[in-house]
Chains A and B, each alone.
Chain A
C-alpha cells in the first residue's frame, strides 16, 4: 500500500493507492474485524473514527474510497500545522489528535498570561510566563498516547517556505489580522503540486460570542484577502476629538495613551506595557482627571485596560465551537470522508444559536491568490504619496499597516517613494506624477507586514 498526494479537483486530497489485498472498503466491518487488523491493544480506541473512514456514504467527496488505510495515513503520514496556540490553537490540537492525526506541529511566539486560563485549557497557573506552543504540545503528548506534537516557539515570519511546504494542511487560529493576512499571502502562493493547487488552509476566528470559519482551497475558493472587507478595520478616534473635544471615557483614555504618555514620560523612555499594572494605573488615574475636567463619567480600570490593550472579549465556548468546525474540515480535506464546507461560515450565539454558511467568491486581481495582472488603483493626476499611503492603509479591502512604496518612473528607473526611516517625510507631500514621474499605467510596488512578499499595483490617473 502506498500513499499519494494527488491534486484532486478541489484541494490536496489524500488518495490511497491500494496494493494490499482486500484493503478496499467494504462497508461491512464488524467489531471483530476492527480489532483483528491491528495487533495494538488499543485498537478499539479508534472505533469511532473507523466507522467514518471505512464505510461508504452518499455524502463524501468524490475521491473517497472507504478503507482502514485512511486511519493509518492519519497516524503515520499526514502532517498538519496548527498556527496559534491560543484559545483556538489549544482546542484544535485536542480535536486533531482525537480525530487520529498524530504528527501535528504548532507554532506560536506568545507566552502564557493569566487571562488566558479562562479558555486555553491546556495551561495551568504554574505555566504563566512559559511558551504557549511548548506547554500545549507537552500537555497533549502526555494526555493522548501516540500523539507527536512538535512545538515551535517563534514568529510565523521566522519560518521559511520550506517549513510550510512540509504540511498537507494548515489550520490557523490567530487573533491578529496582520498575521492572518501574512500567512494567507504565503500559503496561497506556495507551489506544492504540478497543478495550480495550493496547500488547503482552514482559518478560524472568534470575538466574544461570534466567530467564523473558512475553508481555503486555492484556486477553487476565495482566500482571506479576497474577502478582506468582512474583517472590519480597527476604528481610531480622530486626534482633534482626543485633544480638544472628548465626550466618551474612551476618548480620555486614548488621550492619555497617545498624547500624555509621550509628554509626561512617567516611566522615562519606557513605552506603554499593557500588562504592567503600574502603567495601566497611571493611565487610569490621568484619564480620570481628564474625564473629571470635562464632566465625563464611566472611566473604570477594566475599561482603561481594555482600551489600552485593545482587548477582545473571549470565552471558552465560542473557541470550542469554532475550533471544532475547523477540525472537522481538516479531517474532510485530508480524507474526503464528507463533502467540504463551501466555504465560509459565520457563527453567533447571542440570541439562540445562529450560523450562516455560504459560498463566498474569489476576487479578481486578489492581492494574494490571483497571480494575473496587478490590481489597478485610480487616482487624480495630482495625487500625493501621502494620499496613496493613506489609501493603502484605509481602504477596506487592502488594510495595510505600514506600507513602503517604490515605483518606476517614465525612464523605467526604480524610485523610492516612501519608506519609513529611509526616505524623508518630505516625500509624502510630493506628487506621484510630477515629482516622481510615475507615468499613467505605471507600476508601484508595496511592501507591508501584512504580506509575505511585496505587492504590485498599476496606477491609473483620471
Chain B
C-alpha cells in the first residue's frame, strides 16, 4: 500500500476513509481518487444494469448517467431490486437512478430519457460520449451494439472503453472493448522476488562481503540470502567455472542452473550449511533450503513487459505518461545490461533486525537510484519533444519502476468486428469436438443467435411460446454457423434451453454478471488490476465461466 501519508502523530481519519476502508486496502487512496473522478454511462437499467451500478455506486464512483427510454413493467419490478411496483409506467432509468443514489450520497446520478439510437445518430460527431470514463450497455440489438461499438472505438482522440453484457436465463455474456489499456499496478497474485543473485550490483556484493559468517553465532543472526549467496558463489567458482568441470557451463551466465545442476547445488548447499554448524532447527537452514527453487530463477524481463517495450508507442509516446516512462525504461535497460530497475522489495527473512534492515536498505537504495535515473530520462524525453503538457512526479516514476516487471498492456479487438466476422477462437474450439462441444462455446453461439433472432423478430426465442419459436431459432443458429463454416452436431439441447429461457433475466444470474462487469469497470477506471480481454461466458447451469479473446486469438 503506497497510499497513506506518513505523519508523526495519529492522523485524523476522515469519515470517507472509514467508509471505504475495506476497499482502500485494495486500490489505495490514489485508486479511490480516480474512481471518485469517474463518470460511468449505463445503457438500459434492466436487472443486470442496476446490479452493475450498485457495485459502482457503493464503492463511490463519481457520477453515473443512465440512458433508458423504457417504461417500468411488472416484469421489471419482479427481477430488479431498484424498482418498486409503484414505479410501473414511469421511466425505468429515472426510477432506478433514485433508488441507486439512496445507497451512497457521495455519488450523483442522472437519467437521460432519449432513445439511444437517436443519440448515436444525432450525436455521432458530437461530444455526447466524451464525458464518460466507461460506457456499459446491456440488452442491445445487433444493430445498435455495432453502432455503439464503432462510435466509441473510433472516437477521434481517445477511444472510450465499452463493456457489453447480456443475461438470458442461466447464461451470461460479458464483452470488454478496449482499444488500448495500460496497467502499472497489476497486483499479481504472486511475484518472484527480485533478488539479483545471478546479476549482483556492486553495492550488494560489497554489503554481502562485509558480513562475517565465521561463527555459528553470526550465521544464525544473518538473513538466509547472505549465507546462500556466499555458498552459491563458492559453488559456481569451484564446480561450474573450473576448466575441467564436467558440468557444461553457460559462461555468460554461470548462475543460471539447469534442473540437474540445481539438484546438485541443493546437496552442496545442505552440506555447506551443516559444515557451518547449522541444522534443520535453524531458521537460516530451513529458509535457505526452501529458497533453492525460487532464488535461482534468472533475472529476466517478462515477455509481457518485453512486448510493451517493443510497442510502436515507445518510439512515439505522444502525450502519454505511461509511454514516456516506457521509453525512459527502455533506454535505462539498454544501458544497464538488459536489466529492469531493482524492485527494492525483499521478503521477510528471520534474522537480527539490524542485519535485515541493512540488507533491505541496500536493495532500497539501489531501487531509488534506478528510479532517479529513469526519472531523469523521462525529463529529457519530454524536453526533446518540446512543450509537453505532461507532468511527471518522481513518485510516479518510482512506482512505475517498482512495478516495471508487472506492467500490462491490452490492445483489444472491437465488438463491431466480432459481429461482422467469424469468431475463430470459438469456432476452432468447437471444431475440436463436434459431437460434444464445450458447453460454454455453444452458449456463446446461442447468445449470438439470440441477438440476431431478436433483431429479426423483436422478441427473444421462447418469449411467449418456446415450442413454436424453436424451429425459427434453430434455423437462425444454422445460418449463423454456416456463415462461420462451423459444423456442430450436438446443439439441439442448447437450442431448447435458450427457447426455455425466453429472454428472461434471472435475478441471481444478473447479479453475478453485474458484479463482474462492475469490477471490470473499476479496473479500467483505476488503471489497477488487469481487465478481461475480452469475452466471458458465464454458465450458471454448471456454475462455470470461460474466457475468450474474440474474434481471433
Contact = CB atoms under 8 A, between A and B. Distances in A.
A–B contact with Cβ pairs below 8 Å: the answer is: yes
Given A30-B464, A145-B85, A301 B515 contact: no
Interface string B42-82: 00000000010011001110000000000001110111110
Interface in B1-57: 1, 3-4, 6-11, 13, 15, 17-26, 51, 54-55
Contacts of B545: 353-355
Given A48-B79, A351-B529, A302 B24 contact: yes
Given A47-B504, A51-B501, A327-B511, A117 B19 contact: yes
Given A27-B466, A57-B497, A313 B77 contact: no
B244 interface: no
Given A44-B78, A350-B529, A318 B515 contact: yes
A300 B4 contact: yes
12 contacts: A52-B506, A115-B21, A296-B353, A315-B23, A316-B23, A316-B54, A318-B515, A345-B544, A349-B529, A350-B529, A352-B531, A352-B536
Interface stretch (A94-102, A224-232, A412-420): A94-102
Contact of B353 (A27, A246, A338): A246
A396 interface: no
A303 interface: yes
Q: Return the 8 tightest CB-CB contacts between A and B, nearest first.
A: A320-B515, A281-B10, A324-B511, A45-B78, A98-B507, A341-B543, A321-B515, A324-B512
B414 interface: no
A286 to B, nearest CB: 11
Contacts of B465: 28, 30
B278 interface: no
A443 to B, nearest CB: 33
A424 interface: no
Interface residues of B, number: 100
Interface string A14-57: 00000000000001101100000000001111111101100111
Interface string B182-194: 0000111100000
Given A314-B22, A320-B514, A321-B516, A121 B496 contact: no
Interface of A: 27-28, 30-31, 42-49, 51-52, 55-59, 91, 94-95, 98-99, 114-115, 117-119, 121, 124-125, 143-145, 208-209, 213, 241, 245-248, 277, 280-281, 284-285, 288, 294-296, 300-303, 305-306, 311-321, 323-325, 327-329, 331, 338-339, 341-342, 345, 348-355, 357
Interface in B294-347: none
Contact of A353 (B3, B493, B507, B516): B516
Contact of A328 (B23, B508, B520): B508
Give the one of B22, B81, B518, B541 with max A CB within 10 A. B22
Nearest to A278: B10
B81 A144 contact: yes
A328 B512 contact: yes
A367 B351 CA distance: 39
Contacts of A339: 541-542
Given A247-B348, A315-B59, A95 B508 contact: yes
Contacts of A321: 511-512, 515-516, 519
A320 B51 contact: yes
A118 B58 contact: yes
Interface in B232-264: none
A300 B1 contact: yes
Nearest to B24: A302
Contacts of A338: 170, 540-541
A194 to B, nearest CB: 30
B4 A320 contact: no
Given A59-B497, A314-B23, A95 B84 contact: no
A28 B468 CA distance: 9
B352 interface: yes
Nearest to B359: A247
A325 B512 contact: yes
Contact of B75 (A48, A213, A306): A48
Nearest to B86: A145
Given A59-B493, A315-B22, A341-B543, 14 more contacts: A30-B465, A46-B78, A59-B541, A99-B508, A118-B60, A247-B351, A247-B360, A301-B10, A321-B515, A324-B512, A349-B516, A353-B519, A353-B532, A354-B547
Given A114-B18, A117-B19, A301-B10, A350 B187 contact: yes
Give the one of B4, B21, B468 with max A CB within 10 A. B21
B508 A56 contact: no
Given A320-B55, A339-B542, A351-B186, A44 B26 contact: no
A94 B512 CA distance: 13
Contacts of A301: 4, 7, 10-11, 13
A44 B511 CA distance: 21
Nearest to B6: A300
A341 B6 CA distance: 48
Contacts of A117: 19, 58, 104
A52 to B, nearest CB: 6
Nearest to B3: A302
A303 B1 contact: yes
B462 interface: yes
Contact of A319 (B9, B102, B515): B515
Given A247-B353, A355-B544, A317 B22 contact: no
Contacts of A296: 353, 357
A73 to B, nearest CB: 17
B502 interface: yes
A325 B189 contact: no
Nearest to B517: A317
A209 B26 contact: yes
Contact of A357 (B80, B170, B543): B543
B173 interface: no
Give the one of B25, B169, B186 with max A CB within 10 A. B25
Given A99-B508, A302-B21, A320-B518, A44 B466 contact: no
Contact of B22 (A28, A118, A294): A118
Contacts of A349: 516, 519-520, 529
Nearest to A300: B4
B13 to A, nearest CB: 7
B189 A114 contact: no
Contacts of A56: 500
Nearest to B83: A143
B356 to A, nearest CB: 4
A246 B73 CA distance: 63
A191 B187 CA distance: 46
Contacts of B508: 95, 98-99, 324-325, 327-328, 331
A315 B6 CA distance: 25
Contacts of B468: 28
B350 interface: yes
Contacts of A145: 84-85
A316 B21 contact: no
Contacts of B78: 44-49, 98
B530 interface: yes
A99 B544 CA distance: 20
